[in-house]
């Protein structure tokens, strides 16, 4: 297996533009090509959903045509919002295997021009069908993960708000220093505290924006100053309710394990990282899943400013998805380009991290179900280890089986609320507010349901669920429900004695 290196990189500014998808991909791709003498022998395109965002299909052929490199193999890869990282991973494997020597990667998304509810609905198509039909959106599922994390580590409301606010303010500060960022402005504590609630407990400043943008990169087998040291990928269930653990991303842990194994590095070796923060809470969770901090303790390190640009472990010095922007298909590759800029000292001095020899890039596709972790390293004087020359065991992540379809119409069941959120910015076709929950049941394991009535719920408390017109609902368990369930359990116990 051959070593894999990074030659040229480029990136457009992120934001909302009149530019077309063609403009974005051409701009990023041409900047890479104009600075190389290498003969490109393959083109890989990353884009999540150009068909609906910008009415473009057959995108791999179109970009080859735009860049005037038609004739070489060209293909598009889609893994939802990690598509940019996916083409990087595939490109590394193709170079390492000897199939190609110089590969151009271009990742892009054109998202603006559509109403927010329409964009939300398109993004929600990566969500499992049953959860989507209940009105789930990416912010609502992210909020449920956040609530589960809050409960597991007994984080009170005030401390959670402080944690999320600190991450948002930090990343907006970093973005204010990045000329390519979507948001180049700082926010204050008042800005954060007074911002609109999107899906409890996530506010507007906890959520990444709708952005346009593109990034490009050339991978090569010829030695440069930056080597791809490790790669890892893992998938998890599409449905959030099927996961054994709601508070963390098992696929991130597994992808990181593979990346560390292939690079012979550990979390302690990483100098800085670009971590997927489509929602601020994800930055806290992901830094734990990547092994930077112990589980439940990222809050301690983040509130001590250890993840700032001048901290012990800078996280998202680019501004992250939160501030740099999140044109979904482009984001994974943009993270890698940002790391290369840092490693080559090509950013302003006030955004330059002190130690920049080893960087980690982490990208999430969907709601934590198609994840990539890549490690970059400045080329040492001695020859490095060839990518892929390691044995990695692909583990199966356990899951809880689907069960909502097993519930009969008008059947009432008891359960306990595993997590919930009230969504205030709903997908197209759903009224606001919309309360959604994940419920553990004795009979059917776990279900995803919609609240019959809006109100405050407490995670861990008893809930009554039922199905009506093929939609599963939940409500607070009344005294009448408690008596009914108690009688049902005891009658069954008596009958069992006679069997």
Residue 201 exposure: Cα atoms within 13 Å on the Cβ side:
24
Asked, for residue 131, whether it belongs to a domain, the answer is no
Out of 312, 344, 378, a domain closes at 378
The range of the structural domain enclosing residue 439 comes to 404-497
Q: Please indicate, yes or no, whether residues 366 and 408 belong to a single structural domain of this protein.
A: no
Q: Same structural domain for residues 428 and 479?
A: yes
Q: Above 50 in pLDDT, residue 497? A: no
Same domain, 219 and 350: yes
Res 113: pLDDT: 83
| pLDDT of residue 24 exceeding 50 | yes
pLDDT for 252:
97
Report whether pLDDT(492) > 60: no
End-to-end Cα separation, the chain, in angstroms: 64
Question: Do 346 and 408 sit in the same domain of this protein?
Answer: no
458/453 Cα distance (integer angstroms): 14
- pLDDT on residue 158: 96
Q: What is the mean pLDDT of residues 269-289?
A: 98
- The mean pLDDT value for 478-482 works out to 79
What is the distance between the alpha carbons of residues 107 and 87, in angstroms, rounded to a whole number? Answer: 8
More confident residue, 170 or 70: 170
In a domain? residue 154: no
- Residue 428 belongs to a domain with what CATH number? 2.40.50.840
Q: pLDDT class for 392, splitting at 50, 70, 90? A: low
Q: Note the pLDDT of residue 221.
A: 97
Backbone angles phi, psi at 91, to 5 degrees: -60, -40
pTM of the model as a whole:
0.91
Could you count the other beta carbons within 10 Å of the beta carbon of residue 275? 27
Mean of pLDDT values over 383-397:
63
**pLDDT band per the 50, 70, 90 thresholds, residue 455:** confident
Long-range contacts of 249-253 (CB under 8 A, 24+ apart): 249/285, 249/286, 249/289, 249/364, 249/368, 249/371, 250/397, 251/368, 251/369, 251/370, 251/371, 251/397, 252/286, 252/289, 252/290, 252/362, 252/364, 252/368, 252/371, 252/373, 253/289
With a pLDDT cut of 70, the percent of the chain lying above it is 94
**Band of the pLDDT at 405, cuts 50, 70, 90?**
low
Instruction: Judge if 415 and 332 occupy the same domain.
Output: no
- On whether both 13 and 100 belong to a single domain, the answer is yes
Last residue of a domain, one of 325, 343, 378: 378
Residues 428, 296 share a domain:
no
pLDDT value at residue 425: 86
Q: Provide mean pLDDT across the span 385-409.
A: 71
Find residue 231's DSSP bridge partners.
374
Mean pLDDT of 93-98: 96
Tens digits of residue pLDDT in 36-50: 999 999 999 999 999
**Biggest CA-to-CA distance, the chain:** 84
Q: Are residues 43 and 89 in the same domain?
A: yes
What is the pLDDT confidence band of residue 404, given thresholds at 50, 70 and 90? low
More confident residue, 482 or 32: 32
**pLDDT value at 498 more than 60:** no
- Same-domain check for residues 84 and 11: yes
How does the average pLDDT of the chain come out, rounded? 91
Residue 212 lies in a domain: yes
For tokens 């022998």, name the residue.
Answer: 41
Question: Mean pLDDT, to the nearest integer, of 5-21?
Answer: 95
Number of domains within the chain: 2
Residue 20 has pLDDT above 50, yes or no: yes
State pLDDT tens for residues 73-88.
999 999 999 999 999 9
Helix (H) or strand (E) holding 234: strand 226-235
Query: Is 431 or 89 the better-scoring residue by pLDDT?
Result: 89
* CATH number assigned to the domain comprising residue 339: 3.40.47.10
At 388, is the pLDDT very low, low, confident or very high (cuts 50, 70, 90)? low
Output the DSSP codes for 146-183.
Answer: HHHHHHHTT--HHHHHHHHHHHHHHHHHHHHT-TT-S-
Does 488 have pLDDT greater than 80?
no
Residue 144 resides in a domain: no
Residues 373 and 410 in one domain: no
**Count of Cβ atoms closer than 10 Å to residue 204 Cβ:** 16
> Would residue 289 count as lying in a domain?
yes
Query: What is the mean pLDDT of the segment spanning 135-142?
Result: 94
Asked whether residue 355 is domain-assigned, the answer is yes
Residues 6+ apart with CB under 8 A from 299: 153, 155, 159, 163, 284
Q: Is 324 part of a structural domain of the chain?
A: yes
CA separation for the pair 6, 102 (Å, rounded) = 10
Q: SS3 letters for 432-468? A: CCEEEEEEEECCCEEEEEEECCCCCCCCCCEEEEEEE
Q: For residues 355 and 409, state if they share a domain.
A: no
Mean pLDDT in residue range 65-78: 93
**pLDDT at position 184, please?**
94
| 137 found inside a domain | no
One domain, residues 341 and 420: no
User: Where does a domain end: 340, 363, 378?
Assistant: 378
């Amino acid at each position: 297996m051959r070593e894999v290196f990074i030659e040229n990189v480029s990136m457009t500014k992120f934001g909302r533009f009149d530019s077309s998808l063609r403009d974005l991909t051409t701009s990023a791709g041409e900047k890479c090509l104009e600075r190389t003498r290498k003969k490109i022998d393959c083109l890989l395109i990353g884009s999540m959903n150009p068909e609906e965002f910008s009415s473009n299909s057959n995108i791999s052929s179109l970009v080859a045509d735009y860049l005037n490199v038609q004739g070489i193999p060209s293909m598009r890869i889609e893994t939802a919002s990690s598509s940019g990282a996916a083409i990087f991973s595939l490109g590394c494997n193709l170079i390492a295997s000897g199939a190609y020597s110089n590969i151009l990667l271009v990742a892009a998304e054109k998202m603006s021009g559509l109403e927010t509810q329409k964009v939300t609905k398109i993004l929600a198509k990566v969500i499992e069908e049953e959860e989507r039909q209940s009105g789930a959106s990416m912010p609502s599922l992210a909020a449920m993960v956040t609530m589960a994390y809050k409960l597991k580590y007994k984080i009170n409301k005030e401390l959670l708000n402080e944690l999320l606010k600190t991450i948002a303010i930090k990343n907006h500060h970093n973005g204010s220093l990045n000329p390519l960022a979507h948001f180049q402005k700082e926010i204050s504590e008042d800005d954060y505290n007074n911002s609109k609630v999107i899906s409890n407990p996530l506010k507007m400043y906890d959520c990444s924006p709708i952005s346009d943008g593109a990034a490009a990169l050339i991978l090569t087998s010829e030695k440069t100053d930056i080597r791809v040291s490790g790669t890892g990928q893992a998938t998890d269930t599409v449905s959030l309710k099927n996961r054994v653990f709601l508070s963390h991303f098992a696929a991130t842990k597994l992808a990181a394990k593979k990346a560390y194994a292939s690079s012979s590095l550990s979390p302690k070796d990483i100098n800085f990282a670009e971590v997927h923060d489509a929602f601020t809470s994800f930055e806290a969770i992901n830094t734990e899943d990547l092994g930077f901090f112990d589980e439940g303790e990222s809050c301690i390190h983040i509130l001590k400013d250890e993840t700032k640009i001048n901290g012990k472990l800078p996280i998202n010095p680019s501004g992250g998805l939160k501030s740099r922007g999140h044109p979904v298909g482009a984001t994974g590759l943009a993270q890698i380009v940002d790391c290369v800029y840092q490693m080559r000292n090509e950013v302003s001095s006030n955004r330059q991290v002190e130690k920049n020899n080893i960087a980690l890039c982490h990208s999430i596709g969907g709601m934590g179900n198609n994840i990539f972790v890549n490690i970059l390293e400045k080329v040492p004087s001695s020859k490095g280890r060839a990518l892929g020359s390691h044995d990695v065991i692909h583990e199966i992540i356990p899951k809880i089986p689907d069960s909502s379809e097993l519930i009969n119409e008008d059947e009432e069941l008891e359960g306990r609320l595993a997590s919930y959120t009230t969504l205030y910015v709903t997908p197209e076709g759903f009224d606001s507010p919309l309360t959604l929950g994940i419920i553990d049941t004795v009979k059917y394991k776990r279900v995803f349901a919609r609240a019959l009535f809006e109100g405050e719920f407490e995670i861990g408390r008893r809930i009554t669920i039922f199905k009506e017109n093929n939609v599963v609902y939940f409500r607070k368990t009344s005294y009448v429900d408690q008596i009914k369930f108690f009688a049902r359990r005891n009658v069954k116990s008596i009958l069992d004695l006679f069997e």
